[in-house]
Structure 1
Amino acid sequence: MAIELFNEDGHVCLMFTHLADEGGEAVQANQFLVIHGDTGAVIDPGGNMAYNELLLTIGRYFPPNKLSAILASHADPDIIASLDRWMTSTQATLHISRLWERFAPHFCKPGKTQGRIVGIPDPGMRIALGSSALVAVPAHFMHSEGNFQFWDPVSRILFSGDLGVSMGSSADAACTVTSLAGHIPKMESFHRRYMVSGKVLRLWAHMARTLPIRMIVPQHGAPLAGAAVGEFIDWVSDFSCGVDHLTQAHYTVPA
């Protein structure tokens, strides 16, 4: 089952929240499908435990063999560990930070990615989707060194990767958050550890305020919409995390 985030004039954004074993060892993760006319792209398709059901579920809404792009915010296993199987079942091209374009083939059998990876330059780029495009937006060090978010100018959804993550179940992820205050306890510890520094978050917030964002949809947990979008941008713009908290005590040899 998919959650419909947007559907207007042949442009559709779908979210899948439930494809990893509920209550199992793996963290809950979201996957996304963006359709524009007769073209489609998968964003952060996930690992092997999500692949079979994701492929079958996508097939109810769009023919997988017509997918033109696989977009990866970064190279973690919960993002693209299933890459080998996507390279087999589709003709799609992988778009990933140029920092990771020579690492991503390690998920695949030799030669399977030949000519099918586009390295996104650090400033980002537009990625064609039929007569429309998705925009790779710089999100470096949130949390990966080479990291991108994907902004859809039609739906005005920002697919934000690990920024905006909340920890919980797939049922939690299916419930859109419109007021941030009560949601912060589900987000705070993750952002404190996985975001590299408050400086990076401030730079991102300044950029984000220049975009007309209707919804922020992370790779784990619930989407943010309405007032929660601006509240989240304000929250992270004054948030200390990562290296802001490190001291020499964190770098000592174990007894």
Structure 2
Amino acid sequence: MAFVLFESGDHRCVAFNDLVRGDDGVQANQFLIQNGRHSAVLDPGGALVYNPLMLALAAYVKPNEVDLVLCSHQDPDIIGAVDKWLLYTQATVVCSKLWGRFVPHVVPGYMKNSGADRYLLLPDEGGLIPVGNAVIRAVPAHFLHSVGNFGFYDPQAKILFSGDVGASLIPSGASYGFVQDFATHVPKMEGFHRRYMGSNRVLRLWVDMVRKLDPQMIVPQHGLPFRGEAIGQFLNWLERLECGIDLLGPADFRV
């Protein structure tokens, strides 16, 4: 089922939240940004969701006419089906320059039209990515799960697609919608963030950057999105969270 996050004029942002079958894999969201006849798919996932995503996209765009595949990082639930995107579309794959030589390892060597010209590799500071008459800004999220990690900010919709930052673990089949009660939502995020985020120092740098962006929505790749007062509550929670290397000590490295 598609969830329209934003629609105004010829600009639209859509989330697909229920394409993973039951407990076959970790729940993951895929996204579509459309501007006129141009479009980008964000974090499209692996073979598990490729066919369902193609069917879901067809209500909005011809999948083989997608212009861009935006990848926040290198995990299978992000780029696992990149070979199919390169084979069946003319889309350009956008990812960190750190992963530009790793992503081709999931692309068969015999495949034609899958070389370096099909990739747009982002420097660490990010950059601007045109989608029709709109521009998507790749913003750094390094060491917040991956060493070469980006969020994608749509300034027209004022949505930050935040990748794994803000991810929550929700049951398969749970309804998709904005977080209503932040306090009860925290347990769905806390364990993941403590383990997968690099350190509190990096979280505070990211929070400062996001406050300057001032998004109206923060939409992670797993679980539920934030808007309104939940955004401030989420950022306040993140900047106080100990995680990653903050929690490690000698006991974690015993033989």
Shared fold (TM-score, shorter chain, > 0.5): yes
| Aligned: 1:161 with 2:163 | yes
What amino acid does structure 2 have at the position aligned with 1:88? L
- Report the CA distance between 1:170 and its aligned residue: 4.5
Contact 1:198 1:241 in 2 (8 A): yes
CA distance in 1, matches of 2:174, 2:159: 19
Q: Which runs of 4+ in 1 moved over 4 A?
A: none
How far the C-alpha of 1:249 sits from its partner, in A, is 1.3
| Equivalent residue in structure 2 for 1:190, among 171, 189, 192 | 192
Structure 1, gaps ≥5 residues long? none
Report the Cα distance in structure 1 between the residues aligned to 2:105 and 2:29, rounded to whole angstroms. 23
Partner of 1:89: 88
Identity of aligned residues (%): 48
Tell me the secondary structure at the aligned position of residue 5 of structure 1: strand
The aligned residue for residue 204 of structure 1 is 206
Matched residue SS, 2:61: coil
Distance verdict in 2 for CA 1:7–1:170, change over 3 Å: farther
Partner of 2:114: 113
* 3-state secondary structure, aligned to 1:155: coil
1:1-255 mapped onto 2 (5 Å cutoff): 1-24=1-24, 26-110=25-109, 112-114=113-115, 115-172=117-174, 174-253=176-255
Amino acid across the alignment from 1:45: P
Q: CA RMSD in A?
A: 1.1
Read off the aligned partner of 2:16 and give its amino acid letter: F
Query: How far, CA to CA, are the matches of 1:112 and 1:221 in structure 2?
Result: 35
Provide the C-alpha distance between the structure 2 equivalents of 1:230 and 1:36, rounded to a whole number of angstroms: 29
Secondary structure of the residue that 1:199 maps to in structure 2?
A: helix
Provide the rounded CA distance (Å) in 2 between the counterparts of 1:35 and 1:237: 33
Question: What are the Cα deviations for residues 9-61 of structure 1, in whole angstroms up to 9, with x where unaligned?
Answer: 1111000111111133x110000000000000000000101000101110111
Q: State the Cα distance separating 1:112 from its structure 2 match.
A: 4.6
Aligned residues: 252
Determine if contact 2:96/2:124 at 8 Å carries over to the other structure. yes
AA at the equivalent of 1:11: H
In structure 2, the CA distance between the partners of 1:170 and 1:112, relative to structure 1 (3 Å rule), is farther
Q: CA separation in 2, counterparts of 1:176 and 1:208?
A: 18
Would you say the 8 A contact 1:180–1:232 is kept in 2? yes
Q: Name the SS of the counterpart of 1:209 in structure 2.
A: helix
- Name the CA shift for 1:29/1:121 in 2 (closer, same or farther; >3 Å): same
- Contiguous gaps of at least 5 residues in structure 2: none
- After superposing the two structures, state which structure 1 stretch, 111-120 or 83-92, moved more: 111-120
Structure 2 Cα separation of the partners of residues 151 and 38 of structure 1: 20
| Counterpart code for 1:184 | V
Give 1:176 shift.
1.2
